[in-house]
Structure 1
Amino acid sequence: MRSIKLLFLLLAVPLLFGCEEKHDVAGLDTFSQSQLIVWNGHLSEIIIKDIFTPPVASRIYSYPNIAAYEALAPAYPAYHSLSSQLNGLSAVPQPDATQELYLPVSSIIAFSTVSKKLILDELLMEAYEADYLAQIRKIGIREEVLKNSIAYGRQVGEHVLAWSKKDGYVETRALTRHVISKEPDAWQPTAPDYMPAVEPHWSKIRPFVMDSAAQCKPQMATAFDSVATSDFYKEAMEVYKLVKDTDEEKLLIARFWDDNPNVSYTTGHVTYFKQKLTPPGHWMSITSSAIRKNKLDMMEAAETYVMVATAVADGFISCWDAKYAYNSIRPDTYIERYIDADWDPILQTPPFPEFPSGHSVISSAAATVLTHKFGGAYAFVDSTQMAIGLPVRQFNSFDEAAVEVGESRIYGGIHFRPACDLGYKQGKEVGELVISKLRTRKAAQTAKL
């Protein structure tokens, strides 16, 4: 954590040492070091509780982290604002140079201000904020500085919220449902819940970095065919056999990367649901682990979260544009229709078209950004799923984890191989685009991000 002294020099205001009211600079800096990790954890908890779909979850992670970055950046002259880099984001308000502020507080308040308007459980987020401010006061901060810092955080948060309201999300809530096609190759609702298609208009959401939803199109998948000698039939047979002959390791991999936010279970006449982390939440957890392991200061942590969150969000927009353009049949439907009527996948099939694999796209996008930041030979332990009773998994790189994600979807019986392999390539293109277009550091800086 950069010293508060530098912050005050930047803002051209007097230092606070010698004041009667306690102001614990070292304590505040130490406490603030991990706060973005804490707050992304809070956000994940609420996203699980509120049962947001994966595309919506990716949007929810992005805006608060952008707000946190923007509120903190004025204390770090080496960092660029993201305004004019992210699509439609106008110049963000700057701190009043006549006031004393502690911008790490402003950063968290900006995060909280935005989060509260994107989730359902505002009261829980307000409780987290109240607890945070109580801890800040307990450590020791002048009340005037705290007041100014909160006000600036709110100002940045409101600016980001105003920008978020123009991304098309609200308008897509009123659009028509996806129309089910009768064509033999088209997606159909699947067991057990036969839910309607999720977010058929997500491609209309404004991207963060991409020029358009269609900028990073996947390569063409295998042409549909029901003939037993066809390539498509062979791909279906691969899924069929993997599920029929699954082993303990493949089963574990499928469940580890399931990340279905709302799994249904039926016992007799009773159906109940269990909520879990979303795919973007899983990669934000991996990001948090890397930030913690490398002891990044708060500004570098904010930068890393922004890069990952925007790559994942644009990954969903890109993927969903392709999903509803191709409207591809799921293995569950195809195999029961042409191979074995009694076959069931291991994982519950998500309610949207098959190609490309969303988890593959966003995992590759996130892994590409994280590799750029931490290197290609970054070994790590993913303990994300311990919360639901699954053991940790070890990887030699972020890319290795992203590849396993694709395999997990095939092992689970919910995707054909091209959706995962080509989805991986599509996500890599999105991640590389984010790296090339989103410049967080000024030219003199040599850091990777």
Structure 2
Amino acid sequence: MRQLLTSFVAVVLGLSGCHRQPDKLPPLGNAVISQVVARMTDVMVHDVTNPPLAARFFAYACLAGYEVVAQHDSTYPSMRGTLNDYPAIEKPADLPRHSPELSAVLAMLATAKKMQPSGTLLQAYEDRLLDSCRTLGFAEETIDQSKQYALAVSKQILAYAKADRYNRISNYPRYTPTAGGGNWYPTPPGFFAPVEPYFNTVRP
């Protein structure tokens, strides 16, 4: 997960230096990516999200941002052929004024808002982000087209996420520890229930 996030930040920085819109938009910088991850983390704390599920949220949100970047820089290949059952992510058309950087960030947010139980809490941060973009000189048309681009990519990532079989876990029987070496069982002092015991059934 850390490697994916580091790669994504590096790609966004590369885009900020080599791919500009006709109106010379200022780069957003890697601090914005860190802020998105931090806000996602805040929501996870609010929701008391367990570690395996948190990893799932981070992975798909970062994947959405990465795919936007990959569509604008051929040195970063799509994850198709690398991830299991991963589809070809269609590039939105007829949005000539979108900002690749802003679209990548908004794709992350759009994905996180849909996947996290309290994802709507991210809307306040998104509103502040877009206000700061306006202050930096982003035209309203650029912001609007960047939103459209982001939503189109996020929708495809969400469809991929929905098919990873996580939604079937709730149908499995309650996990019952079994005796024997190498088997997990609750330990003192908390004797907590297992965390996502069927997570291994999710698409790798």
The alignment's C-alpha RMSD in Å is 2.1
TM-score (ref. length: structure 2): 0.84
Shift of 1:73: 2.1
Over 3 Å counting, the alpha-carbon distance change for 1:87 and 1:182 in structure 2 is closer
| Greater fraction helix | 2
Shift of 1:33: 3.4
Aligned with residue 103 of structure 2, among 83, 102, 106: 106
Aligned with residue 116 of structure 1, among 101, 110, 113: 113
Aligned with residue 89 of structure 2, among 87, 92, 97: 92
Aligned with residue 162 of structure 1, among 155, 159, 180: 159
Alignment gaps of 5+ in structure 1: 9-14, 17-23, 208-449
Counterpart residue identity of residue 49, structure 2: F
Aligned with residue 52 of structure 1, among 37, 49, 53: 49
Q: Give the distance between the partners of 1:76 and 1:7, measured in 2 at CA.
A: 12
Are 1:181 and 2:178 counterparts? yes
Q: Give the distance between the partners of 1:56 and 1:157, measured in 2 at CA.
A: 18
Q: Give the distance between the partners of 2:94 and 2:73, measured in 1 at CA.
A: 15
Please say if residues 47 and 57 of structure 1, whose CA atoms lie closer than 8 Å, have aligned partners that are also in contact.
yes
Shift of 1:65: 0.3
Aligned with residue 76 of structure 1, among 54, 73, 78: 73
Over 3 Å counting, the alpha-carbon distance change for 1:101 and 1:186 in structure 2 is closer
Higher relative contact order (CA 8 A, sep 6+): 2
1:432 corresponds to: none
Q: Give the distance between the partners of 1:140 and 1:98, measured in 2 at CA.
A: 19
SS in 2 for 1:96: coil
Over 3 Å counting, the alpha-carbon distance change for 1:156 and 1:91 in structure 2 is same
Over 3 Å counting, the alpha-carbon distance change for 1:86 and 1:146 in structure 2 is same
1:424 corresponds to: none
Alignment gaps of 5+ in structure 2: 1-12
Q: Give the distance between the partners of 1:88 and 1:201, measured in 2 at CA.
A: 20
Over 3 Å counting, the alpha-carbon distance change for 1:139 and 1:61 in structure 2 is same
SS in 1 for 2:193: coil
Shift of 1:5: 7.1
Shift of 1:114: 0.8
Q: Give the distance between the partners of 1:52 and 1:176, measured in 2 at CA.
A: 21
Q: Give the distance between the partners of 1:88 and 1:184, measured in 2 at CA.
A: 35
Please say if residues 64 and 112 of structure 1, whose CA atoms lie closer than 8 Å, have aligned partners that are also in contact.
yes
> Percent identity of the aligned residues?
25
SS in 1 for 2:71: helix
Q: Give the distance between the partners of 1:177 and 1:35, measured in 2 at CA.
A: 41
Deviations 1:97-125 (A, max 9, x none): 56221111110111001111221222321
Over 3 Å counting, the alpha-carbon distance change for 1:57 and 1:177 in structure 2 is same
Please say if residues 83 and 91 of structure 1, whose CA atoms lie closer than 8 Å, have aligned partners that are also in contact.
yes
Please say if residues 84 and 91 of structure 1, whose CA atoms lie closer than 8 Å, have aligned partners that are also in contact.
no
Q: Give the distance between the partners of 1:37 and 1:98, measured in 2 at CA.
A: 27
Over 3 Å counting, the alpha-carbon distance change for 1:52 and 1:157 in structure 2 is same
Counterpart residue identity of residue 131, structure 2: A
SS in 2 for 1:127: helix
1:133 corresponds to: 130
Shift of 1:176: 1.0
Q: Give the distance between the partners of 2:16 and 2:51, measured in 1 at CA.
A: 38
Please tell me whether Structure 1 or Structure 2 has the larger radius of gyration of its CA atoms. 1
Please say if residues 107 and 153 of structure 1, whose CA atoms lie closer than 8 Å, have aligned partners that are also in contact.
yes
Over 3 Å counting, the alpha-carbon distance change for 1:189 and 1:5 in structure 2 is closer
Shift of 1:4: 7.4
Structure 1 segment 49-448 matched on structure 2, within 5 A: 49-96=46-93, 99-183=96-180, 186-207=183-204
Counterpart residue identity of residue 37, structure 1: S
Please say if residues 172 and 202 of structure 1, whose CA atoms lie closer than 8 Å, have aligned partners that are also in contact.
yes
Q: Give the distance between the partners of 2:114 and 2:69, measured in 1 at CA.
A: 20
Over 3 Å counting, the alpha-carbon distance change for 1:183 and 1:90 in structure 2 is closer
Over 3 Å counting, the alpha-carbon distance change for 1:138 and 1:7 in structure 2 is closer
2:3 corresponds to: none
Deviations 1:20-44 (A, max 9, x none): xxxx62xx30x33321122111112
Aligned with residue 39 of structure 1, among 28, 33, 36: 36
TM-score (ref. length: structure 1): 0.40
Deviations 1:396-441 (A, max 9, x none): xxxxxxxxxxxxxxxxxxxxxxxxxxxxxxxxxxxxxxxxxxxxxx
